[in-house]
Structure 1
Amino acid sequence: MKKMKQFLALLCLGIVGVLLVGCQKQSVTQKANTQDTWAKIKKRGTLLIGVDDSFVPMDFRQKNGQLVGYDVDLTKAVCKKLGLKAEFQSIDWSMKETELRNGTIDVIWNGYTRTKARTKKVAFSRVYERSGQALVVRKDSGINKFSDMKGKTLGVQQGSTAYTDLLKYPKLLKQYIKNGTPIIYNDNNSSFLDLKAGRIQGVLTGSVYAGYYATHLDKNKYKLIGLDVFPSDQVAVGMRKGDRTLLKKINWALGELQKDGTLRKINQKWLGIDDDYLGPVD
């Protein structure tokens, strides 16, 4: 009986110890999340950027292993304005907010969509890119707006956001296409092959992928229509709530890149769009 009491006492002490350690770790993490770390970042001279290095065309690796993409170019341009070196860290995308909260990265910068749920735990920069749906057509098609698709055949990927939006907002595009029904494809590549061959006259797909395809995979043969018609995702830089100085610095740098034309050049290079949209400062 005495041994049992001793065992239970030790067990209780162990549990209390684990709880205390857990609370201490949580306290340290919470403190890190509310601190303004700009002085530390400036002294280090690098900005630690969390990315998914397989996200074409935002951040992805070439055959030689080099990291390239829209956000790679934009991040380096911002860091140059801030006198910092961009240091990219490949992360598990499902753990991005945890990596940020724990301080292993300074920012999430990888086609990161600003949502109401995320703004509760992450501070966001100005929106620098709107990722919605785009109608891709051949440049020689004579199609310049959605209504020009009247009686023509549209391709869309099954289960995609583009397909969902097409059905959700039928008066935008669906009402014009042949029989009011698109051709369904298992993947975007197949739909673009049919577009190239003239078997269909348009493809509705995500604007980021569409821009990359039109600009890089089949240059100068396609154009994007209706970038601002469907509701769009708002892409921005995510950082800790406490990093108010870093937030101001990044917002300032993005504004400078808009002024000097760099933002427009990056959009043209990676997305094939002549645009330099930059959302307002909160």
Structure 2
Amino acid sequence: MMKKIALTSLTVGAGFLLVACSSSTASQKKNDTWKTAEKTKTITIGFDNTFVPMGFKAKDNTNQGFDIDLANAVFKEYDIKVKWQPINWSMKEAELKKGDIDLIWNGYTVTKAREKQVLFSKPYMAGQQELITKAEAKITKTADMKGKTVGVQSGSSGYSDFNAQPEVLKNVVSGKTITQYSNFDQGFLDLQNGRIDGLLVDQVYGDYYLKQNKLGSDYNTLLMNYTSEPTAVGARKTDKELITKINQGIDRLVKNGQFAKISQKWFGRDVYPGK
């Protein structure tokens, strides 16, 4: 009987040790992402692969966009290859916390709510929200949206702004509510078909989309008077060294002109703050 008890104790003890080691390894991975990336020469970045022009899947199935080029250039400085992982944008912080991705880098705007969940890099771009409406609707000011319907991408900074600053748009539209879509394409389709009257979106995305699809004469854009929110890279709170390396990498690209070159390619201007 004593032998059975001893064996059971040893088995249970070994089990606890195994779990502890496993948890320690998982914790270490989360706490030392930079060291892991240096060793494996890879890092995983989560992105919404429909977010033109920041990061998206092109017709040839390659990942393209401003943030794709920028992140690849930053990690090339460290001889690290980026693995791009498409994610559900509304679940981005959860994916990061679980360790399924190492960074959120895709037109990710800095908000107070997000600062509680992630560690941000220095801003590398300013962000504004705009409302896209059909030109025939002749909506030229926020008041023109009275009693009308509006849509937005779920989990976006536009959705946060809509609720956090109701005096700008929420208090004007029908029912003081907004329709959420999993991606911009779904929302724009509803706008085209008249199921909503306006679509709230990041300015860089909206302007690029309309220009690329030659829709400038069919739609109007109206800048929203929300507090300006800069764009940055998001990491786990413990990954201070990783964020430091990203900041240093972006600084080098700004100084050697690569940042401006990438920016000109996608926006026709240098979007670095202060430029």
TM-score, with normalisation over the residues of structure 2?
Answer: 0.64
Residue of structure 2 aligned with 1:26, choices 20, 23, 26: 23
Cα RMSD (Å): 4.7
Matches of 1:248 and 1:209, distance apart in 2: 28
Unaligned 5+ runs, structure 1: none
Residue matched to 2:83: 88
Q: What CA distance in whole angstroms lies between the structure 2 residues aligned with 1:95 and 1:175?
A: 33
Task: Give the 5 Å matches for 1:122-271.
Answer: 122-129=118-125, 133-137=129-133, 146=141, 150=144, 154-157=148-151, 166=162, 169-173=165-169, 187-193=186-192, 203-207=198-202, 209-221=205-217, 222=219, 224-226=221-223, 229-231=225-227, 235-239=231-235, 244-255=240-251, 257=253, 260=257, 261-262=260-261, 264-265=263-264, 268=267
Q: Which moved more, 1:47-56 or 1:257-266?
A: 257-266
Q: 1:241 to 1:78 in 2, by over 3 A?
A: same
- Length, aligned pairs only: 257
Offset at 1:20?
Answer: 1.0
Distance 1:84 1:242 in 2: 23
Q: Deviations over 1:71-128 (max 9, x none)?
A: 2122123335x2535422426654333337xxxx654434445566765675321133
Partner SS state of residue 127, structure 1: coil
**In structure 1, which of residues 57, 66, 70 is the aligned counterpart of residue 66 of structure 2?**
70
Structure ID, larger Rg: 1
- Evaluate the alpha carbon distance shift between residue 185 and residue 97 of structure 1 in structure 2; reply closer, same or farther with a 3 A threshold: closer
- CA apart distance, 1:17: 1.0
Alpha-carbon distance, 1:134 to partner: 1.5
Describe the shift of the 1:184–1:26 C-alpha distance in structure 2 as closer, same or farther (beyond 3 A). Answer: closer
Distance 1:190 1:49 in 2: 31
The answer for unaligned runs of 5 or more in structure 2 is none
Q: 30, 38, 45: which one pairs with 1:50?
A: 45
Judged with a 3 Å threshold, the aligned counterparts in structure 2 of structure 1 residues 152 and 97 are, in CA distance, closer, same or farther, namely closer
Q: 1:54 to 1:12 in 2, by over 3 A?
A: farther
Residue type at the aligned position of 2:151: Q
Shift of 1:47: 4.7
